[in-house]
Amino acid sequence: MIKWIKSLIKVLFGKKEEPITSENEEKYLEDEEKMAQYLEDKIIEPEKIQCNTHSRFKKSCPICIKAAK
């Protein structure tokens, strides 16, 4: 019963989306492009510290130890 009341309140007073118009679509696409550019600038990939024989670093492997230094 309580779930039904909550869902009814959400339906009646929920956030309403704006209808898609050409102006809104252009603004949305501009925001998406800016966000994509921002994320590209901020992504920094760490260097892999491993030799070519393992999928991750092993402390018992001398090649992995050399690669880490």
Report if residue 14 sits inside a domain.
no
Sign of CA dihedral 56, 58, 61, 63: positive
Neighbours of 2 (CB within 10 A): 6
Name the residue range of residue 27's domain.
21-68
Q: How many structural domains compose the chain? A: 1
**Residue 49, in any domain of the structure:** yes
Both tokens assigned to 55 = 């999928």
Does 10 map to a domain? no
Asked, for residue 28, whether it belongs to a domain, the answer is yes
- Examine residue 1 and state whether it is found in any structural domain, yes or no: no
Q: For residue 48, name the pLDDT band (cuts at 50, 70, 90).
A: low
- pTM here? 0.33
Could you tell me the pLDDT band of residue 14, with boundaries at 50, 70 and 90?
Answer: confident
Any residues with CB less than 8 A from the CB of 65 and at least 6 apart, and which? 59
